[in-house]
Amino acid sequence: MSSDTLVDIQRALNIIRAATDKEKYTVRLQALELITQTLLSQLKALEPTQLVKDLGTTKSKSSMPKPKPMPIPKSLNTPSSANSPNATIPNLPQSQAISANDINAMRNDFVSNTANTSY
């Protein structure tokens, strides 16, 4: 398409604009409809969908490999065994182990001491 053709098209569009600027809304809408129909027919003639399909098939994959996933950072304040899902929880030494009887005894002592205290 030469530059003369583009100049002619621009002049025609300017004439259409000047003619429709003074018209009623419905006439302006009809003129835009005519322009749109012309545009659509030109687009169909170009077959841009075939161009898009061709671009999708000829596109090669990137030669750069994907980066490896980042490692999960470990907290400096927690021991390494705490970050492991398979880590075992150490048992308390026998001297620090508390039984259900010890808990009941402490509860009874607390209740009896608070019952004797007046506020």
In 3D space, the residue among 20, 45, 47, 14 whose CA is nearest the CA of residue 33 turns out to be 20
pLDDT digits (tens, 9 = 90+) for 10-58: 999 899 889 888 889 999 999 999 999 998 888 888 876 666 666 666 5
Is the pTM here over 0.85, yes or no?
no
In a domain, 92, yes or no: no
Please indicate, yes or no, if residue 107 is contained in any of the structural domains. no
User: Which H or E run includes 40?
Assistant: helix 25-46
Question: Residue 89's pLDDT band (boundaries 50, 70, 90)?
Answer: low
Position 38 in a domain: yes
Greater model confidence, 77 or 41: 41
By the 8 A CB rule, do 74 and 80 touch?
A: yes
Residue 83 lies in a domain: no
Three-state DSSP at 101 gives helix
Q: Provide the number of structural domains found in the chain.
A: 1
Assess if residue 7 is contained within a domain.
yes
Structural domain boundaries enclosing 18 = 3-58
